[in-house]
Amino acid sequence: MNNRRMIFIALMFLATIVACVVPGLQTASTPIPASTVDPAQIDAMVAETVSVAMVQTEQSMPSPAPTPMSTSTPDSAITSTPTSTPTKATPQTTTSQATSQATATPQVTPQTNLSQSTLTKQSDGSMLFADDRAGYSVKLPADWLAVRVNGEEYQPAFSLKETSNTNIQQSLLSIKGEDPNAFRLLAVDTQAAHIQNDFVSDIRFVLDEKKSISLSTDADLQAIAQKIPASATVFRFEVTSVKIITSGNGTKFGVIESKSSFTNPAGANVPLYQKQVFFNAKTGTQSITLTTLSDLQGTILRIFDTMLETIKIEAK
């Protein structure tokens, strides 16, 4: 075969290779498709991820804790009196993170007069809670954040400076599924010095319109107290006292005090104190439950008892 023929064959072979396109590879003449993802859709995905992460955080709290605690007191709506819970130790949330979390939390649409109650800021920094449905009013302590499940203050509460702490945010999230007709109010102690062992002290107001408790004797209170250990869904509270007291303004209260404990992330045992107060409202029985750390009992209990003295019940 002569050299001229060899060169001809080589040129033909090269032309064949150039004409072929390897499948799956883009050529210079093939345009690359532009992204069709809507930026708003990305924001929604991020918000959804944050929401899921928050739920997972709630579900992964140290044993035996829930998403801020929900402990029962027996008897209908009274039995659903939830309480605070220690939460897993997490880094302090920044203001921007708190805003993201507020966006990701379940939306609650405020409806005028739906709760049949009002919250009015007082000159001394306290908040006056007037429950027209139950028929009483009470002056809440200053430095405590008060929110109603369906209140206009609930959603904005997640963006407040004092609620940037992760444990407080989880406490707020814990009431999102409550029935506002029964769960009337949550008051959270937002003072940083009082948040210890990832535990937030709170006061929960629950109304049972179908019940009426007798305070002429402690029989009804004893019946409730006997069911407390068996009805607990998170902490097994042990009743320490059952009594009937009369406030300075002549209001009769049934009082049940209990104790419990939980193990913090460091493995230490942390004792808890709980005080439940019952009284007959205009409609049904109102319970007010304080749950705090035993180490803070002396400080928080004085605040709680002072609050009880401000209760004014409407005549039936």
Q: What strand order describes the sheet that includes 117-121?
A: 117-121, 127-131, 136-140, 312-313
Indicate whether 254 belongs to any domain. Answer: yes
Q: Domain for residue 283, yes or no?
A: yes
Per-residue pLDDT in tens (0 to 9) along the chain, 316 residues: 544 544 444 444 434 434 444 344 343 333 434 443 343 433 333 333 333 333 333 433 443 333 333 333 444 445 444 445 444 333 344 444 444 444 444 444 444 456 799 999 999 989 999 999 999 999 999 999 999 999 999 999 999 999 999 999 999 999 999 999 999 999 999 999 999 999 999 999 999 999 999 999 999 999 999 998 877 667 789 999 999 999 988 899 999 999 999 998 889 999 999 999 999 999 899 999 999 999 999 999 999 999 999 999 988 7
Indicate the DSSP class of residue 56: H
CA dihedral for 298, 236, 66, 68, sign (positive or negative)? negative
Contact 191, 204 (CB under 8 A): no
State how many domains the chain has: 1
- pLDDT for 31 equals 42
Q: Report if residue 42 sits inside a domain.
A: no
Question: Is 7 among the domain residues?
Answer: no
At 291, which CATH number?
A: 3.40.1000.10
HEC string for 235-276: CCCEEEEEEEEECCCCCEEEEEEEEEEEECCCCCEEEEEEEE
Q: What does the pLDDT read at residue 265?
A: 87
Q: Region of 142 please: left (phi>0), alpha (psi -120 to 50) or beta.
A: beta
The answer to whether residue 242 is domain-embedded is yes
**What whole-number distance in Å separates Cα of residue 152 and Cα of residue 286?**
23
Residue 54 lies in a domain: yes
Q: Is residue 40 part of a domain?
A: no
Burial of 153 (0-12, 13-18, 19+ CB in 10 A): middle
Domain with 129, as residue range(s), is: 50-313
Report yes or no on 216 lying in a domain: yes
Confidence at residue 153, expressed as pLDDT on a 0 to 100 scale? 95
